Amino acid sequence: MKMSERIKNRLRKDRAMTTISMRLPEDVIEDLKEIAPALGFSGYQPLIRAYIGQGLRKDLARMENSQVQILAESLRRHGVKDEVISEAIAEARLRSA
């Protein structure tokens, strides 16, 4: 799935949810309950989902960038000029946006 499709899906309000069980320290739950309203969340579970989403987006972007970097290095080894690689990356990013 392309990154732009992934982002569009994440913005949908009617996404399917599944129940999971996680063990967290009691003091962490208490801190989450305390900070959630101050950050505008209705409870600690939406705050946890927001934290997970932020970390996931960051890691997905990092992975995408590292894959682009690996491809660019391979193209350089095959004699493709840096300006061509840069133009191709910019074009691909525009298409996926």
Residue the block writes with tokens 């004699």: 79
Tokens coding 25: 């320290």
pLDDT interval class at 25 (50, 70, 90): very high
Summarised one tens digit per residue, pLDDT across range 55-91 is: 988 888 887 778 888 888 899 999 999 899 888 888 8
**Average pLDDT estimate for 32-61:** 93
Output the CA–CA distances (angstroms, integers) from residue 51 to 20, 39, 43, 58, 89, in the order listed.
Answer: 16, 12, 13, 11, 30
Q: Is the pLDDT of residue 42 over 70?
A: yes
Instruction: Name the residue ranges covered by the structural domains of the chain.
Output: 24-96
